[in-house]
Amino acid sequence: MEKNIAVIKGDGIGPEIVTESMKVLDKVAEKFGHKFNYTQLLMGGCSIDANGVPLTDETIAACKASDAVLMGSIGGDTTTSPWYKLPANLRPEAGLLGIRKALGLFANLRPCLLYPELAGACPLKTEISAKGFDMLIMRELTGGLYFGARKTEEVNGVMTATDTLTYSEDEIRRIAIKAFDVAMKRRKKVTSVDKANVLDSSRLWRKVVTEVAKDYPEVTLEHMLVDNSAMQLVKDPAQFDVMVTENMFGDILSDEASMITGSIGMLPSASMNETKFGLYEPSGGSAPDIAGQNKANPIATILSAAMMLRYSFDMVKEADAVENAVSKVLKDGFRTGDIMSEGMTKLSCSEMGDKIAENI
């Protein structure tokens, strides 16, 4: 098959980790007789530097014309980078939110699983990590606080800032359906995370998710408050199968979930619309502290490419091959610095990409 992939390398470690992902995709193409054509696009800080804006109409149009988008990460050090002296709508993150909205990517799938080989990199007590876990966070991605009206103004002589959290029934229903559909292919359990003891948006969330559950009698639904969920994630992650939640809660819980898999550098992500189209990126950021040093972990981005093969291209064998190659390399004791432990062999970002490609 021939597929056109829009590639946004982005900022910081973005170019390093995407390069390794493309190396692995090229190996997949060679082994399985496919052709992947790449169109490189700018978004985020690099687009600000080149075009004065974080996202251009050309980038959006080229993504829409592609079969899928492969992305690194965008942004800089938010305390020192000049990008953060710009108005909010011209900063790197505005580009990312803009592209998610423009492509209608409302469903963000973040699978979090503890590879048995990485149990030593998991910061949880050994009796918890020994049980392992395999869950998926289904994060709503185009609503909530990220897209509500916001303003900063003077009220009675005092500077006051407002962000609004709005969800419509329709927005909740479509993400709930995605969560139940995915749960049907997994262990058939959905945990809906909200703050229904305080927020109106969460009370509506709970009501709509409960209604959707009626169409999935085989799936067990539970509701959990977000603060308890954060605690349960470190107490007993194995209890979770699919966790569905709103945008901001999902952002925070997925970083927490990533760390118990060993590192944020392990957590892939797929952002999908109603069709098979998706944008695939690691869940973590541009890691300005290690950018340009060839030491980032490329595995999250490589596993994101595997999600692209599986979800957008229906290339199941190929996706399995990438995931198996990652497992094999971990089994063989190869690690990047973030997941390094005693007795293992430490690799650079590019060496890790080479090793995974070799194992396809």
Query: Catalytic site residues?
Result: 146, 195, 227, 251, 255
Q: Which of 11, 67, 194, 251 binds Mn ion (CB under 5 A)?
A: 251
Sheet with 189-194: strands ordered across: 35-41, 2-10, 68-73, 278-280, 270-272, 107-113, 134-140, 242-245, 189-194, 220-225
Partner from Mn ion, ligand NAD, ligand IPM, none binding residue 264, C-beta < 5-8 Å depending on class: ligand NAD
- Please tell me the distance from the alpha carbon of residue 12 to that of residue 353, in angstroms, as a whole number: 18
Inter-residue contact 117 to 234 (CB < 8 Å): no
- Please tell me the distance from the alpha carbon of residue 143 to that of residue 127, in angstroms, as a whole number: 38
Q: Which of 46, 179, 287, 329 binds ligand NAD (CB under 6 A)?
A: 287
| Shortest reach from residue 283's CB to Mn ion, in Å | 6
Inter-residue contact 68 to 5 (CB < 8 Å): yes
Among the listed ranges 21-29, 170-178, 234-242, 281-289, the one in contact with ligand NAD (CB under 6 A) is 281-289
The response to whether 255 counts as a known ligand-binding position is yes
Measured in degrees and rounded to the nearest 5, phi and psi for residue 43 equal -160, 145
| Shortest reach from residue 44's CB to ligand IPM, in Å | 9
Nearer to Mn ion, 304 or 359 (CB): 304
Nearer to ligand IPM, 15 or 75 (CB): 75
> Does an H or E element contain 267, and which?
none
Among the listed ranges 146-154, 237-245, 288-296, 314-322, the one in contact with ligand NAD (CB under 6 A) is 288-296
| Shortest reach from residue 184's CB to ligand IPM, in Å | 26
| Shortest reach from residue 282's CB to ligand IPM, in Å | 9
Q: Which two tokens stand for residue 135?
A: 């869950």
| Shortest reach from residue 125's CB to ligand IPM, in Å | 27
Inter-residue contact 70 to 18 (CB < 8 Å): yes
Residue 288 in the binding site for ligand NAD (CB under 6 A): yes
Residue 281 in the binding site for ligand NAD (CB under 6 A): yes
Q: Which 64-123 positions form the footprint of ligand NAD (CB under 6 A)?
A: 73-76, 78, 93, 96
Nearer to ligand IPM, 263 or 283 (CB): 283
Residue 284 in the binding site for ligand NAD (CB under 6 A): yes
The response to whether 290 counts as a known ligand-binding position is yes
Nearest one of 1, 79, 77, 3 to 278, comparing CA atoms: 3
Q: Which two tokens stand for residue 356?
A: 């995974």
- Please tell me the distance from the alpha carbon of residue 12 to that of residue 73, in angstroms, as a whole number: 7
**Angle (CA) 321 322 327, round 5°:** 95
The response to whether 300 counts as a known ligand-binding position is no
Partner from Mn ion, ligand NAD, ligand IPM, none binding residue 296, C-beta < 5-8 Å depending on class: ligand NAD
Q: What does DSSP say about strands 134-140 and 107-113: parallel, antiparallel, or unpaired?
A: antiparallel
The response to whether 332 counts as a known ligand-binding position is no
The response to whether 285 counts as a known ligand-binding position is yes
Nearer to ligand NAD, 78 or 228 (CB): 78
What is the separation of C-alpha 338 from the centre of its chain, rounded to a whole number of angstroms?
18
The response to whether 200 counts as a known ligand-binding position is no
